[in-house]
Amino acid sequence: MLRDALPARPEARRMLVGTLFSALGRGLTLPFLFIYLTEVRHLSGTTVGLLIGWFGLLTLAVAPLSGSLIDRFGARRVVMPALLIEAVGVGSLALVGTTWQAAVALTLSGLGASTIWAGMNTVFTSITGEQERQRVFGLQFALLNLGIGIGSATAGSIVDTARPGTFQLIYVLDMFCYAGPFLILLSMPKVGRRLVETPTVTESGRKRGYAEVLRHKPFRRLMIFSVLLTVSGYAQLEVGFTGFATKIAGVTPQIIGYSFTANTVVIVLAQLLVIKKLQGRSRSRALAAVGGVFGTAWLVLGLAGYIDGSNVVLSAAIVILFGAIFAVGETMLSPVSPALVNVLATDELRGRYNALSSMVWGMSAIVAPVSAGPLLGAGLGGVWIVLVAAGTIAASLVALSLHKLITPEQDGRTATTAPGVLEPAPA
């Protein structure tokens, strides 16, 4: 099954290896930034919260510029410097001792992170055919979760707040993990070049750019779906889910860790099977199903709040089950969403399409904590569950409305007759 999911071109297979390398590094440090800066470097929790918020705002602000640069210069000329900047940023965190040093390190990391995801998706699109692109994006997501899971488990066995050197080690290792995708791109000089020469105006005299992307009605509808789903889904995991599970359901942080582990295990084990089942099926309806699965997961979590810690074992089991159910939706979303973005995109503006798509995550990360924190703080966990479940159902309805706006080919309901791998324009 794994062999069938692999892309035809060796360049794409090597890029997947790069994804695994960067994910390993991300997993090493992802769970520990707040702990490191507060308990090891002794910065105040408020200061660290502001620094992390600055990181999110920076990635959101720079993403549009990165899309324009990708279209103008080609993905490799943008992604490769971004990988180096990101590596320097995370490596610098090993040396921080003051607030301004942490701010500089996170600024560098944010500048790199704001570009890498959109650029990598553009690269993958250029070296895969339409028939295989959906499953390649799914495999990319599975490798991302596998790498993060392995990295987190490895770091968890290393770090010790009484020994600052253990935290410094994981940030240095994270820095070196970015060398993987950088060296892979460096070894393939023809990959990631500008796809086409981009004209400055359309035939009707309009200037090409983000305005043209935003005028694209199917893409606008897809972005509305993405915002609704992400605000009501992914973005609620860090604050909403953890807050509800601990304050309302009464489980320990260890159980939350088990829930995330269950999530990763389901993704890694089920992703290839889900990719196979989705092949040739409607993408818009698959996205609608994702909203239904996420909504079901939130309602299941609500049962743990209803028990309210009166049965510790049952509450724990429900919280862990939530992570597993949520993962099923992720395995459906991860191959379909980027494939649909890139089938709607034009070669001239592909970087901008991917940049706007990646911006959804930044916007949602700002909105979700603001919506979850006050409700959970006021003890209105039930209201929060209803709101996020309703948000996922609303996303499903938007996805169903998208079905009428796109062609059967764009919706993935008909097979293409040729691989359709995009060739770069001359440098």
Please provide the DSSP assignment of 139-173 as one string.
Answer: HHHHHHHHHHHHHHHHHHTT-BTTBHHHHHHHHHH
What integer pLDDT is reported at residue 130 of this predicted model? 82
pLDDT tops 60 at residue 425: no
Could you report the per-residue pLDDT of 8-34, keeping only the tens digit for each? 899 999 999 999 999 999 888 877 787
What is the mean pLDDT of the segment spanning 44-61?
82
Q: Give mean pLDDT, residues 69-78.
A: 91
- Domain with 183, as residue range(s), is 1-195
Residue-averaged pLDDT of the chain = 86
207 phi and psi, to 5 degrees?
Answer: -75, 135
Tell me the backbone φ, ψ of residue 160, rounded to 5 degrees: -150, 120
Chain segment 272-286, per-residue pLDDT in tens? 899 989 988 999 999
Q: Does residue 81 lie within any of the structural domains?
A: yes
Residues 139-164: what's their mean pLDDT? 86
pLDDT at 270 exceeding the cut of 50: yes
Residue with the bigger pLDDT between 201 and 21: it is 21
- pTM of structure: 0.83
User: What pLDDT sits at residue 1?
Assistant: 58
Does residue 249 contact residue 305 with C-beta atoms inside 8 Å? Answer: yes
pLDDT tier for residue 4 given thresholds of 50, 70 and 90: low
The band of 6, judged by pLDDT with boundaries at 50, 70 and 90, is confident
Residue 363 or residue 384, greater confidence: 384
Res. 220: pLDDT tops 70: yes
Instruction: Please report the pLDDT score of residue 148 as a whole number.
Output: 85
Q: What is the DSSP letter of 426?
A: P
Q: What is the mean pLDDT of residues 340-361?
A: 90
Q: What percent of the chain has pLDDT over 70?
A: 92
* Residue 417, pLDDT score: 36
Is residue 1 classed as helix, strand or coil in its secondary structure?
coil
More confident residue, 340 or 161: 340
∠ CA 178-273-412, nearest 5°, is 90
CATH code of residue 87: 1.20.1250.20
Domain co-membership, 77 together with 34:
yes
pLDDT for 154 equals 86
Residues 146 and 215 placed together within one structural domain of the fold = no
**Exposure class string for 80-118: b at 16+ Cβ within 10 A, else e:** bebbebbbbbbbbbbebeebeebbebbbbbbbbbbbbbb
As a whole number of angstroms, the distance between CA 294 and CA 229 comes to: 8
Same domain, 126 and 248: no
189 falls within a domain: yes
Q: Has residue 420 been placed in a domain?
A: no
In this structure, the answer to whether residues 258 and 404 fall within a common structural domain is yes
How far apart, in whole angstroms, are the C-alpha atoms of residue 247 and residue 252? Answer: 9
Does residue 206 lie within any of the structural domains? no
* 172 and 235 both lie in a single domain: no
117 domain residue, yes or no? yes
Whether residues 182 and 226 share a domain: the answer is no
| pLDDT given at position 52 | 78
**Mean pLDDT of all residues in 329-336:** 94
Task: Decide which of 134, 169, 195 is a domain's last residue.
Answer: 195
Is 90 exceeded by the pLDDT of residue 222? Answer: yes
**pLDDT above 90 coverage of the chain, percent:** 45
Residues 359 and 312 in one domain: yes
In a domain, 201, yes or no: no
Q: Is there a single domain that holds both residue 50 and residue 129?
A: yes
Query: Pick from 168, 195, 222: which residue ends a domain?
Result: 195
- Are 225 and 356 part of one and the same domain? yes
